[in-house]
Amino acid sequence: MIVRIERGDPRSPGAVALLTASHAYLTSLYPPEDNYFLSIDALCAPDIAFFVAVIDGQTTGCAAIKTFDGYCEIKSMFVDPAARGSGTGAALMAALEAEAKSLGIGMMKLETGDTLDAAHRLYARHGFSVCGPFGDYVEGPHSVFMEKRL
């Protein structure tokens, strides 16, 4: 099984399906004030690079990076539950890191939910470590902040 990563359109049918599933899942876990996902329209902004993973013609995952001064933030990382264990998450992480490096960005950061243990393990395997809040985030009961120096 080959995972292909490509630039994507957040409004494409496959991406919309994944983002809708991701938003529904996060909404089921956390109160609105602790959900920081971006809307599909917000993911179309010029300071965001959006990627999709494709296996056998099916969109199986998505992820984005939003560029800030001095770092980028991983946003909308989601893998279809049926595709977990396929290498989709690792392939997306490699693409995000390559994109950050190509932009000359020296630091990647992210905010994720405190109960998303599989995501924590994926990020740790890719060299991320726990850090404090960054940007406009504040410490909260459901957030875990991580970073990786490139």
Quote the domain boundaries for residue 24: 4-106
Residue 95: inside a domain:
yes
pLDDT over 90 (residue 111): yes
pLDDT single digits (tens) 23-60: 999 999 999 999 999 999 999 999 999 999 999 999 99
Residue 138: inside a domain:
no
Residue 37: inside a domain:
yes
Is 30 exposed, middle or buried, given 0-12, 13-18 or 19+ CB atoms closer than 10 A?
buried
Residue 38: inside a domain:
yes
Decide if 76 contacts 37 (C-beta within 8 A).
yes
E strands within 84-131? Answer: 107-113, 129-131
pLDDT over 90 (residue 78): yes
Mean pLDDT of the 139-145 span: 96
Mean pLDDT of the 83-110 span: 97
Q: What CATH number is associated with residue 28?
A: 3.40.630.30
Mean pLDDT of the 89-93 span: 98
Residue 115: inside a domain:
no
Mean pLDDT of the 83-111 span: 97
Hey, is 123 helix, strand or coil?
A: helix
Domain count, the chain: 1
pTM: 0.96
Residue 87: inside a domain:
yes
pLDDT over 90 (residue 1): no
> Residue 23: which of 13, 11, 35 has the closest Cα?
35
Average of per-residue pLDDT values in the chain = 97
Residue 43: inside a domain:
yes
Say what the pLDDT of residue 105 is.
Answer: 97
Mean pLDDT of the 76-104 span: 97
Tokens standing for residue 18: 């994944």
Tokens standing for residue 32: 């609105």
Residue 39: inside a domain:
yes
pLDDT over 90 (residue 120): yes
Mean pLDDT of the 114-139 span: 97
